[in-house]
Amino acid sequence: MIVTKNLVKRFGTGPVVLDDISENIEKGEKVVIVGPSGSGKSTFLRCLNLLEEPTSGQVWFEGKQINLPGVDVDRIRRKMGMVFQQFNLFPHKTVRQNITLAPTKLEIMTAEQANDKATALLKRIGLSDKADSYPSQLSGGQKQRVAIVRALAMEPDVMLFDEPTSALDPEMVGEVLDFMHTLADEGMTMVVVTHEMGFAREVATRMLFMDQGKILEQAPPKDFFGHPENPRLKDFLSKVL
Amino acid sequence: MFNDIPGQIYSTLILDSRWTLFINGLLVTLMIAGIAIVLGVAIGSVVAITKVNARQNKKLKWLEVICDIYITVIRGTPIVVQLLIMYYIVFATASKDAAPYVAALAFGINSGAYVAEIVRAGIQSVDRGQMEAGRSLGLTNGMTMREIIFPQAIKNILPALGNEFIVLFKETSIVGYVAVMDLTRAAELVRSRTYDALIPLIFIALLYLGIVMLISWALKKLERRLAQSDIR
């Protein structure tokens, strides 16, 4: 579904952040990327929907190369939901408006359809009573769940999560991870950058370990956590587990 | 100067229907300020958006240079000089009746430079994640700007923008330099007829003050309305 070929990213004339990454993410996979900070995992994720423009190399989505001039990136991003560390809800819009904005502005749904969709999604995350609240009135965990359903409202084919629980108070991490777990169980293709090893172990179909812009090891979670091979991964796991 | 206040008021405002001079002057002042504010906001927004976009796109570098020259020249020269250049050079052949519009144009161009910097700062004050969130949902750059960035930027810049409106409104009192009969010029005319400075000058000072207070009040109300989403 998503393929990168020889993906390289450097910011300006700085050091290489992504160093020649070729990777293939299949439909239905739940890929969890871990690694020390500064390893390039967020940059890799952001290159997949071209929030960061690759310096060289190719990004393919659903059979088409998308980092070519003339490709309508906006149209492609509709099918790639993204969830951010800092939630990035629109503070001047209500919860409901946050969810309905993109589907209605892009004329994918009528106002009525989008409204029904928002109602259903909010019911799903148990926040029906917050539909007309503003984001500033929500807790962190509620904000992140709204941010997830905002992306889901576009009915994406894949969801990208960029450290979705890193900005949350510890007691709110669970509610967000639980919801992500449900999504995974329903078959959503997911690429998740996270430090939540418990979640990774339970949900991932494949683990990637990144360090210094390279994917140093990948394996199913059982082998990844049970028999790590790369010395840097061993070192990393010994620190986080 | 203070010996016959009622008589002075009579000769300043009532005699020969001189109050009509003040009313007409006030209307001219409001007209010039109104056009200039609209022009200034329009020019300023365009310049600010151009600058923000040019920063991300190397091909538009030349546009940024033009904007920078405009801002530097306008902010670096006195408004009176700009007004005189506009009237005596750029529109030298225009009829005398057009003078108020020439003045409004000069003030609009002048205000645009200040508004541009205010709006640019406002756009940049909105968190980068907002643009990323909008774009990641598939919204275009333009849609995200209109729906997400601007509404938040306006909230941030309203106090600075209001200040600019107030300064602009008061600065129009120099249009007498190009023979436009605005409120200040009307007071000067009356003063030259009655040989009394006190009443006409205090009178227009109060008028200016009253209108500035009105603008401030309206802005504060607007600010409060925009702060609606800040409630916790």
Give the pair of three-digit tokens for residue B58.
């190397």
Backbone CA torsion sign across B136, B142, B143, B149: positive
Nearest partner of A188 among A209, A167, A161, judged by Cα: A161
Helix (H) or strand (E) holding B66: helix B61-76
Choice between B38 and B1, residue whose per-residue pLDDT is larger: B38
Specify the pLDDT at position A12. Answer: 86
Instruction: Tell me if A88 sits within 8 A of A147, measured CB to CB.
Output: yes
**Strands lying side by side in the sheet with A56-61:** A16-25, A2-10, A56-61, A64-65
Closest CA to B32 of B90, B108, B83: B108
- DSSP character at residue B11: I
Question: For B189-213, what is the mean pLDDT?
Answer: 92
Of A156-170, A196-210, B14-28, B108-122, the range with the lowest mean pLDDT is B14-28
Spell out which residues of chain B touch residue A91, defining contact as CB-CB under 8 Å: 152, 229
Query: Which residue of chain A has the CA closest to B227?
Result: A92
User: For the packed helices B198-226 and B19-56, what is the interaxial angle rounded to 10 degrees?
Assistant: 40
Query: pLDDT at residue B58 above 90?
Result: no
pLDDT of residue B13: 76
**pLDDT band for position B55 (cuts 50, 70, 90):** confident
Report A:179-218 residues touching B (Cβ under 8 A).
none
Spell out the residues 6+ positions from residue B138 whose beta carbon is closer than 8 angstroms to its own: A74, A75, A76, A77, A78, A102, A106, A154
DSSP B2: -
Per the CB < 8 Å rule, is B136 touching A80?
Answer: yes
pLDDT by residue, tens only, chain A of 241 residues: 999 999 999 998 889 999 999 999 999 999 999 999 989 999 999 999 999 999 999 999 999 999 999 999 999 999 999 999 999 999 999 999 999 999 999 999 999 999 999 999 999 999 999 999 999 999 999 999 999 999 999 999 999 999 999 999 999 999 999 999 999 999 999 999 999 999 999 999 999 999 999 999 999 999 999 999 999 999 999 998 8
Lowest mean per-residue pLDDT among A68-72, A213-217, B29-33, B226-230 = B226-230
Closest residue on chain A to B143 (Cα): A105
Hey, of B58, B136, B143, B146, which one would you mutate to test binding to chain A, going by the most A CBs within 10 A of its CB? B136
Q: Is B151 on the interface with A (CB under 8 A)?
A: yes
What amino acid is encoded at A197 in this protein? M
User: Which of B156, B170, B168 lies closest to B210 in space, CA to CA?
Assistant: B170
Confidence class of residue B196 from pLDDT cuts 50, 70 and 90? Answer: confident
Taking an 8 Å cut-off on Cβ atoms, the answer to whether A136 and B229 are in contact is: yes
| A7 in contact with chain B, both atoms CB, cutoff 8 A | no
Mind listing the pLDDT tens digit for each residue in B146-192? Answer: 999 999 999 999 999 999 999 999 999 999 999 899 999 999 998 99
ipTM reported for the complex, 2 dp: 0.93
Percent of chain B with pLDDT over 90: 75
> What is the Cα–Cα distance from A109 to B93, expressed in whole angstroms?
56
Interface of B with A in 83-102 (CB under 8 A): none
- The mean of the pLDDT values for chain B is 92
> Does B128 touch chain A if contact means CB atoms closer than 8 Å?
no
Residue A93 to residue B135, Cβ atoms within 8 A = no
Residue B59 has pLDDT above 90, yes or no: no
Q: How far is A6 from chain B (nearest CA, A)?
A: 23
DSSP structure class, residue B129: H
Contact flag B132-A78 (C-beta cutoff 8 Å)? no
Q: What is the DSSP letter of A127?
A: -
- Closest partner residue to A90 (CB to CB) among B130, B136, B228 is B130
Could you tell me what percentage of chain A is helix, strand and coil, using 3-state DSSP and rounding each to the nearest 5? 40, 25, 35
**Could you give the dihedral angle defined by the CA atoms of residues B122, B126, B128 and B131, in that order, rounded to the nearest 10 degrees?**
-90
Mean pLDDT of B102-114: 97
B1 pLDDT more than 80? no
A101/B147 touch (CB, cutoff 8 Å), yes or no: yes
pLDDT at B149: 95
Q: Chain A: residue nearest B141 by CA?
A: A74
A178/A164 Cα distance (integer angstroms): 12
Asked whether residue B232 carries a pLDDT value surpassing 70, the answer given is no
Amino acid occupying residue A208: L
A210 C-beta neighbours (distance < 10 Å), count: 26
- Quick check: B151 and A86 CB within 8 A? no
Cβ contact A199:A166 at 8 Å: no
SS3 (DSSP) at A39 = coil
A137 vs B155: CB contact, 8 Å cut-off?
Answer: no
